[in-house]
Amino acid sequence: MSDTKALDPVTFEVLKNSFITSVDQMAEQMLRTCYSFVIYNRDFSNALHDAEGNSVAQGNDDIAVHVGTLHFTCKDVIRVFKGDMMPGDVYAINDPYAGGTHFSDVRLVRPIFDEDELIGFSQSNGHWSDLGGSVPGSFDVTAKEMFREAVRITPVRLFRAGDFCSDVANLIANNTRDPASIIGDIHSQAQATQVAEREILRLVRKYGREQVKQGMNEVQDYVERAVRQRIAALPDGTWESVDYIDRDPSGGEGMIPIHIKMTIKGDQIHYDFEGSHPTIGSMYNSAPGATFSAVVAGMKTFFPDLPLNSGFYRMISVEAPENSVVSAQWPVAVTGFLMPFEKIMNSVFEMWSDIMPERAIACAFNLEYLLAGGTDKRREEDATFMFYEWLPGGWGGRRGKDGSDVTTACFGTGLMSQPNEGNERVNPTRTLEFQIKQDSAGPGKWRGGAGVQKSSLLLESEKSVMSYVCDRERAVVWGVDGGLPSMPHGLTIKRAGSDTSEWLGSVFSDFPMYSGDEFARPTAGGGGFGDPMERSTDAVLTDVIDEYVSIERAALDYGVVVKEVDADLCEYEVDEAETEKLRAHIRENRVAWARTDPEEVAEMYRKGEINSMDAVRRYAVILDWETGEPLPKTIAQFRESFERRSVAHWS
Amino acid sequence: MKNTRVAVDVGGTFTDVVIMDETTGAIRIEKTSSTPDDPMVAILNGIDQGNIDLSDVSMFSHGTTVATNALITRNLARTAMVCTEGFRDVVEIRRANKEDLWDTYKDVAKPYVPRRDRLVVKECVDANGTVLEALDEEGARRVANVLKKRGVASVAVCFMNSYTNGANEQRMRDILLEVMPDIPVSISSQVLPEIFEHERFSTTMANAAVSPSVVDYVERLEGKLADGGYERDLLLLHTGGGVMTPASVKDFAARLAGSGIAAGAIASRFIGNLCGFDNSIGFDMGGTSTDVSLVYEGKSRVTKDWYIEYGYPIRFPSIEVLTIGAGGGSLAWKDEGGSLRNGPQSAGAFPGPACYKNGNEVATNTDANVVLGRLGTSLAGGKITLDPALAEASVRETVAEPFGMELHEAAEAIVAVANANMANAVRLLSISRGYDPRDFALVAFGGAGALHGAAIAKELSIPTVIIPPNPGVTSALGCLLVDIQHDFSDSFMAAAADTKPEDVEAAFERLEAMAAERLKHEGVAPKDIVMQRTVEMMYQGQWRALAVSAPSKVTDIESLIDGFHKEHHREFNFRRDDAPVSIFRVGLTATGMVPKAELQTHEVKKNTPTIETTRDVWFDGKAHTAMIFERDNLSAGATFDGPAIVEQFDSTTVIPPNTTAEVDKYMNILIRVQE
């Protein structure tokens, strides 16, 4: 805390709000001038920093995944350019090993000078559509080291005293697939940082340099004070959680554990990742900066009203074993850091749900990201197309409330899904369906939110390839408090002229595609909260009427027997007597079902007697969904979770 | 002789009726209590109360909250949607984002039409507008019959890619109308022929959902006015800032969804204009919130990013109004981090500020203003008396004691924080869009606008503040003097360099033909029609387009491109002269000019008004002896220096030290703020 005399309350409140306004103005500017469609759909963040690089304010609408990382990259810029900065300079950095997230997130940092004194920095961070590497979009799921992934930008100077350093900018841009857009985004972001500079200098003229500098310190102290008070009011204790990444493509079968032990002591919180798996042979690793961000983003969910700045981070410490899947070092591939990131977030949700039951929430669906590219042959002139897309899905059930339906992935709640009509104009694809997936939600007293299903047809094109970045095909979205898992993620393809679909799963790269192929992806619903046998029959009936849940699964998952009266008039009714009988039957048998010999379950699956929803919800079994082969180690891990999160809570 | 104009603005508490005598330009105002169950009752009461002979009325215009309230309260007739098979959930999936990113217990509301009432038919149009699959007529009839069985009151037809070709949607509408001839059907290719399915579907859904109640209301009111002898068209203020006739309301009911909000913005534009300011900022501060709007070069800033409920855009052009939770009743509080906060919680109309004596003990901006002597203790001509002791106690308890301040210091702190928050809202609308507040006048109105206007102007270096004659009923004035206006747009996606000017010209001419047809339908004579063209452009690769005005005859593309570079630089502070530019859309605002009427003017005689009384008013940490004037006693040309307070029935104006005030020929008070 600062030693000098505190600012008067009015000046403090005015500066605090003005800092936030300056960051919001940066966001507005970026949104309206950006080139990368990923930025346009709100994959960006902005921050104001003090002269040491600590975050003073971050935009409240910024994407979750950037929270808690911007101060690291600002500090790295300071490390490199200290003593060599001047007004009008702008630097770039995207280095995940220095606290960045992944290479796609490029940060532009501008020092703010009042006359000759450096008083702070503004930073604008946006997800560029391409940064080179072996595949369009710079997401090569097979990469083990960063050399295949993208251009790594350690701090460089892009503007010197207001003059554009086109040599450096071109070096970066010309290592990507879309140099013109990259130069455009550099200008867009550089201008955004200038918006904050202008605002801060206005405040300096009005309140004086020292007051503004002190304000930057005091707003951090202010957030720290508020968080510490809330933490101190909580009981001390230790909480643990484990979640998994599906697999290590370079290793054998078996899920990749991420263990977290959280300790609250006084007003301090410590997160220990001891027991987490070593780095894996894919891009699904995260570096320490991103891991810290996941912890902060998970926690912030339980303190939604507090402003974000470095004051929030001061009482949090994070420790991880060296070279683990959550503490990767150069040159381990980390572009898929969002996979460990979302696992950490959901584990943090689980632990905090115990501390703050009024904000409790089950597991959310896993983000999914489709990247395709090739030659568009729809017009006379050939054109390269790059098609990147993510879908919303369901979030976990909550205490007293179903989960949020069709919502952006938890790593980036501000992210928008894309319009199909826009896609169809720029890519040789036609969307065949884009709708809520019936029965996708994890059953529970409060069910998870629903996921979606999107199917697309590839039109006239050549040399097309597709990559898919997803997870939780095996570490299926889990329920809590007796709630059930939802369903496995994974993409299927139906070749032109074929009647059957092929399961490609949740992670693959550079898969060749041809005109006329149809590819379909569901997203999972959220995990269920509470025992589905306790869900009110009215709630099940309403879900049937609105077709979130089918009549069949109302019986299978909820033990509720619904009869159609007149579908035209939306009239259905619950058979209460049959329901009571069915619920008794399920209650009596369900523990045994969840412990059935996996071979027997696999056999039923291969024969088509059950589907993957039955396998995970009723039998707690994970199979190779294409061949139906059981995966023993994965099943053991999944069942451990199922027993702890679901079975143990059934009365 | 028809020489009376009537404008009605329906608010939550009061319905204001403004009556203008066209021959003298004199205005009188009737205020009646609103009747939320049927807003028409209050209007008719106002007409009675004002002794208006409707057969004398040359123009009756109306800002209504009927559509807004129907959407907010979801008091909507059963509405259905018919969608392309596979796409019934577009309006539920939306863009999948949330308003509150971090609060996992706060959800976006469900769509106006529940899933069960969103039915599908087979049809397919591709991105180029080619019909790949004609409408499945049998399926369409089945859907129509099901909806008839369900007794739905309105239907929205929303097909994919229909912005390129509306044939299948039109056929679906015809089939629906064959089966259910009496219900309104909104089709997306007519309501908003624009790319991006969610935005188009959502607008169409909202349009369908409000249509039954809005059309019913408008028809009833039209009937009552006609019964009373009114012979012309009822004019309804829409979100875009013009008026429309009942004939257009039938097709575009959702255009009225922001009617009430637009009224204040138009009024401030009008008043700014009257005082000779092309650039003005509207500052409408009420009890719980403040609306800020901006006029540049005589035009209101317009946005298409607009909604009543988050997640459900209504993409008709809308006057851009930024609303923040700061008003006279906003509560001051100390948060857990020890910071002095102001709002957004409000004491509301009841219990209201502490000094209202209704039991609230937490200090509000009103209480702080009472403590500072800026607000007198007798309001509304003595109908409301405020208790200064309760105001003092609340300020002491809420702020002075927790922060260790003196009473007046605490009251000034409360007001200063509120002013800073409101100034930040103005900054977001002005500075962050490339406008310099020093080039603007601030039009301050609403119940509390005149109390805070001068301070806000000072904070933003705005040189002039205009306080209209009746700050509390200014919005109604906005309905009085507007023209008929419609907005049209069409996709035009092309690289600017490859575009032929005649193609752009042809696109504009198509829109102008549609516009002329619509205005003709509303009875506007061709000579009274004014068309304003805009073309939306962007640097190739950008994702948002910027609207630039286009000439009435497009003969070359270079001047359009040049206009875009300039506007991009003004708004975003950079331009890329070497980068290729794309055209995205052409737009047209068609105005049917309504005969102008002049407001009454008064002879300006420079004078120093007589001081009614004086009292201690606090500014900058000390008490000043301020002159107190009655507004009714100030004549045109009255000039005086701050500190002074002007009191009137519905408002109190603060003229701080180091400012001067004068009353102009329209009886506005102009406050000149010195740096």
B421 touches chain A (CB under 8 A): yes
Roughly what angle, to the nearest 10 degrees, separates helices B558-572 and A9-33? 160
The shortest C-alpha distance from B451 to chain A (Å) reads: 19
Over residues A457-515, the pLDDT tens digits come to 999 999 999 999 999 999 999 999 999 999 999 999 999 999 999 999 999 988 999 99
- Token representation of residue A106: 């490029």
Query: Considering only CB atoms, which chain B residues are within 8 Å of A346?
Result: none
- Hey, are the CB atoms on B340 and A60 less than 8 Å from each other? no
Q: Is B101 on the interface with A (CB under 8 A)?
A: yes
Length of chain B as a residue count: 675
Confidence of residue B575 (pLDDT cuts 50, 70, 90): confident
Check A548 against B150: CB less than 8 A apart. Answer: no
Distance from CA of B454 to the nearest CA of A (A): 18
B97 CB neighbours in chain A (<8 A) are: 42, 407-408, 413-417
Strand partners, B617: B624
Q: Give the angle subtended at the CA of B88 by the CAs of B87 and B89, to the nearest 5°.
A: 90
**What chain A residue is nearest to B418 in terms of C-alpha separation?**
A14
Q: How many Å lie between the alpha carbon of B189 and the closest alpha carbon of chain A?
A: 14
Confidence of residue A219 (pLDDT cuts 50, 70, 90): very high
Q: For an interface test with A, which of B85, B93, B141, B324 has the most A Cβ atoms less than 10 Å from its Cβ?
A: B93
d(CA A192, CA A46): 9
Q: How far is A392 from chain B (nearest CA, A)?
A: 6
Per CB-CB distance under 8 Å, the chain A contacts of B412 are: 10
Residues in B closer than 8 angstroms to A434, CB to CB, are 86-87, 89-90, 93
Residue A322 Cα, gap to closest chain B Cα (Å) = 31
User: Per-residue pLDDT for B115 more than 50?
Assistant: yes
Compare CB distances from A184 to B92, B196, B541 and report the shortest one's residue: B541
Q: What's the Cα-to-Cα distance from A276 to each of A99, A229, A251, A290, B646, rounded to whole Å?
A: 20, 31, 16, 15, 71
Mean model confidence pLDDT for chain A:
95
* % of chain B at pLDDT higher than 70: 100
Residue A511, classed as helix, strand or coil, is strand
C-beta separation of A529 from A539 below 8 A: no
Interface residue B305 vs chain A (CB under 8 A):
no
Task: Judge whether A408 is closer than 8 Å to chain B, CB to CB.
Answer: yes
pLDDT in tens, A33-72: 888 777 888 889 999 999 999 999 998 788 888 888 999 9
pLDDT tens by residue, B284-337: 998 888 999 999 988 888 888 899 999 999 999 999 998 888 899 999 999 888
Q: What are phi and psi of A626, to 5 degrees?
A: -80, -50
Query: Does A565 reach chain B within 8 Å, measured CB to CB?
Result: no
Confidence grade of residue A5 (pLDDT, cut at 50, 70, 90): confident
Q: How far does B471 lie from chain A, in Å, by closest CA?
A: 28
* B109 reaches A (C-beta below 8 A): no
- Is residue A2 very low, low, confident or very high in pLDDT (cuts 50, 70, 90)? very low
CA-nearest residue to A297 within chain B is B102
> Average pLDDT, stretch A569-580?
98
The better pLDDT of the pair B460, B287 is held by B460
Q: Which residues contact B312 (CB under 8 A, 6 or more apart)?
A: B91, B94, B109, B111, B112, B202, B205, B206
User: B533 to chain A nearest CA, in Å?
Assistant: 22
B contacts of A407 (beta carbons < 8 Å)? 96-98
Taking an 8 Å cut-off on Cβ atoms, the answer to whether B416 and A16 are in contact is no
Residue pLDDT, tens place only, B591-631: 998 877 788 899 999 999 988 899 999 999 999 999 999 99
Q: A521 touching B, CB under 8 A?
A: no
The CA distances from residue A268 to A69, A242, B338, in Å, are 20, 22, 20
Q: Which residues in chain B are contacts of A184 at CB distance < 8 A?
A: 539, 541-542, 576, 579
Listed in sequence order, the DSSP H helices in B228-332 are 246-249, 259-274
Percent of chain B surpassing pLDDT 90: 69
Cβ–Cβ of A35/B539 closer than 8 Å?
yes
Question: Collapsing DSSP states into helix, strand and coil, what is residue B435?
Answer: coil
* Mean pLDDT of the region B129-144: 97
A414·B150 Cβ contact <8 A: no
Q: What residues of chain A, 294 to 323, have a C-beta less than 8 Å from chain B?
A: 300-301, 303-305
Which residues of chain B lie closer than 8 angstroms to A431, CB-CB?
Answer: 86, 160
- What's the pLDDT score for residue A4? 63
Mean pLDDT, residues B59-64: 91
Q: Look at B541 and A180 and tell me if their CB atoms are within 8 Å.
A: yes
Chain A interface includes B116 (CB < 8 A):
yes
Mean of pLDDT values over A398-409 = 96
Average pLDDT, chain B: 92
Q: Report how many Cβ contacts below 8 Å link chain A to chain B.
A: 212
pLDDT at B479: 84
B336 touching chain A per CB within 8 A: yes
Q: Which of A63, A420, A452 to mutate to test the interface with B (most CBs of B within 10 A)?
A: A420
Whether residues A436 and B421 touch (CB distance < 8 A) is answered with no
**Are the CB atoms for B302 and B318 separated by under 8 Å?**
yes
pLDDT digits (tens, 9 = 90+) for B180-201: 999 999 999 999 988 899 999 9
Could you tell me which residue, B334 or A584, shows the higher pLDDT? A584
CA nearest neighbour of A511 among A498, A492, A488, A524: A492
B114 contact A CB<8A: yes
3-state secondary structure A69-99: CHHHHHHHHHHHHCCCCCCCCEEEECCHHHC
Residue type, A267: D
A122 at the B interface (CB within 8 A)? no
By C-alpha distance, the chain A residue nearest B458 is A206
Instruction: Answer yes or no: do A452 and B89 touch at CB < 8 A.
Output: yes
Answer yes or no: is pLDDT of A1 > 80: no
Task: Look up tokens 């500066």; give the residue.
Answer: A15
Which ipTM did the prediction report?
Answer: 0.95
Neighbours of B493 (CB within 10 A): 11
Kindly state whether B107 is in contact with chain A, defined as any CB-CB distance less than 8 angstroms. yes
Report the residue from B93, B104, B544 with minimal CB separation from A361: B104
Put simply, the answer to whether A32 touches B544 (Cβ < 8 Å) is yes
Predicted confidence at residue B571, as pLDDT, reads 81
| Model pLDDT, residue B1 | 67
Q: Are A395 and B195 inside 8 Å of each other by CB? A: no
Rounding to the nearest 10 degrees, give the CA dihedral for residues A427, A428, A430, A431.
Answer: -40
3 state SS of B234: strand
| Partner-chain contact A304 B100, CB within 8 Å | yes
The residue among A16, A32, A229 with the most chain B CBs within 10 A of its CB, best to mutate, is A32
Percentage, residues of chain A above pLDDT 70: 99
Residue A494 touches chain B, beta carbons under 8 Å: no
Residue A417 has its nearest CB partner, among B95, B114, B543, at B95
Cβ-defined contact of B105 to A401 (cutoff 8 Å) = yes
Would you call the peptide bond into A278 cis, given omega within 30 degrees of 0 as the criterion? Answer: no
Percent of chain A with pLDDT over 90: 85
Residue B458 pLDDT greater than 60, yes or no: yes
B403 in reach of chain A (CB within 8 A): yes
Whether A233 contacts chain B with CB within 8 A: no
Express each pLDDT in A316-332 by its tens digit. 999 999 999 999 999 99
Q: Does B143 touch chain A (CB under 8 A)?
A: no
> What is d(CA B83, CA B89) in angstroms, rounded to the nearest whole number?
9
Given pLDDT bands bounded at 50, 70 and 90, which one contains residue B675?
Answer: low
Task: Tell whether A196 lies on the interface with B, counting CB pairs under 8 A.
Answer: no
For residues B136-158, average pLDDT: 98
Three-state secondary structure along B358-384?
Answer: CCCCCCEHHHHHHHCCCCCCEEHHHCE
